[in-house]
Every structure is written in C-alpha cells, then in structure tokens.
Structure 1
Amino acid sequence: MTTAPTDTPWLDADQQQWWRSYMGGTTVLIDQLDRDLRAAHDLSMAEYEILVRLSEADDRSIRMAELAAAVSHSRSRITHTIARLERDGIVRRTASCTDGRGVSAVLTDHGYEVLGQAAHTHVRGVHEYLVSRCSREDLEAVGRVFEAVRDGLAGRRF
C-alpha cells in the first residue's frame, strides 16, 4: 500500500475560492465565446485561434508541428482540425517552404475573409463578457498572472 505524499501545499480557503472562481469563470467564458462563433460563423474557439495564428504569420503560413505547439494541441488534433478547415476552403496544406519535408497550413483568402467576420463576433464577446466587467487594473493583474503561468509551463507539452 502506498502512502499519500506529505508535502502537498493544500490551498487555504481563500485560495480554494479563487481557484474555483477561475475554473468556473473561464469555463463559462470560453463556452459562451465558442457558442457565439459556432452560431454566427460555424467556427469553434480552437479553429478561430488557429486562424488568428495563421493570419499573423509570414505568408499566413505555419508548419503544422509549430501550429500545434502554438495552440497547445496534439499533432493529431491539429491535423483533424486543419482537415475540416481545408474542406471548407479556409485553410490549405502545402509542403513546407523552408525544407520541403514538413507540411504547412496556409490561410486562404477566403479563410482571411471568414476570420475578418468572425473577429467582430469574438471581440464583441470578449468585451461584453469580460472586459466590461473588470477594471483596467484587474485585467492587467490577470495578464501578469497568466504570463507568469505560461512562462513557468513553457516547454511542457504533450
């Protein structure tokens, strides 16, 4: 029989409340943003994030492995998602321009137009559901906290 570790830093009552507020709040926020995008544009939040990353890249193109890492998806999940976007003419796959061995996802002109329309829905939702409910100082604090979390977990992938 194994024994439970004794060095677990249990959360105090305040920390437990903050954690539960974070978990509940992020769940309902992301779910609502996802519902808005699906209803208006037939895009999920994950697909929207992929389109944003591609739109910001040189030539609107990113190697599939790099894209998976950038959006914290497994390679199989990114392949499945890109296949769906490719069927809709939003993205296309090509041999990597840099070495010819890898595959890159490229945002099409049609995909760029889809993203342009979806961005209005997404940003309005972010503003209505989050930004308008917080002070600038609170949002700055949240930004600092999650930059620290992201930086502390950088490199820990699937």
Structure 2
Amino acid sequence: MDAARFNLFENELAAKFAKRFANAALVIHQSPLPRSTQELVSLRASQVNGCGHCIDMHTKEAAAAGESAVRLNLVAAWRESTVFTEAEQAALALAEEGTRLADDHTGVSDETWAQVRKHYDDDQIAALVSLVALINAANRLAVIVHQKGGSYEPGMFAAALG
C-alpha cells in the first residue's frame, strides 16, 4: 500500500488550515440542507475528481447515517437510476457541473440552476454551493498528496481534528 506523499495532519501549518476547513464544513453540516443530500453531493464530486480518500469517507459516513447501499452504489449513474428524488437530482447535477467547470464554458447551466431554485430555499442553496466548493477543495488536497482511500472509519475526520 502506497503511503501519502505528505501528512496534512502532522504539519503544523496544514493542521491549522485543516481545523479552519473543518469549521467551514461544520457550518454546512449544521445547515438545513439534508444530511443525505450533503453526503450524496460530496460522494459524486469526489467520484468525478477521482479522490479515493473522499469517496471512502463519504460512502462510509453516509452508510453510518443510514443511507442505503443501493443509493450509494448508484450515485455514479444517478441519471440512469430511479432511487433519487428530483431535489437530489438537482443537487447532483449542480455538484457535477460545479465540479467540471473547466469542461464547459457555461459552468452551471441555467436549467440546473432553475431545478436547484425549485427544490431548495436560500439557506439550503447557500449550503449546497458552499459544499460543492468545499468538497472540490478537499478532493484536491487529498489527490495532490496521494491520500488513498480504504482505511477510513466513520467519525475519523472529526476525531483527527479534535
């Protein structure tokens, strides 16, 4: 098993950043955006970005919070499944389009934005947009240092930041 290039939790500056990052995540976690939607969005963006560590984390955290294996297994193919609500589909579309900004000059489409507006209130939208930005940053941190997936246990992230 390959070790990470750099341990972000053992470096003083990186640890300070991680604590502030976790505080930002806590604001989203405590928001009115449903926890299941938060985990699905984090999982989908992490899949798009190829972040094994974050896929591992969000799959396990979602399962620990009661998410079904069927829904977790179908996140990667959410458009071709019947297990997500229209609101969740809107959030997943926003997650994908907000993650793939460089792939399309329009960024998040007007159609996707209209679906998000239809299903979420302003506080939920603020949380959703912030979550897409935050998970993309987390994916980049983990991928850059080669932090691999597979060994995460639910609650580890919160415990590491103490």
- Which bracket does the TM-score occupy, shorter chain normalised? 0.3 to 0.5
TM-score under structure 2 length normalisation: 0.38
Q: Which has the larger radius of gyration?
A: 1
TM-score under structure 1 length normalisation: 0.39
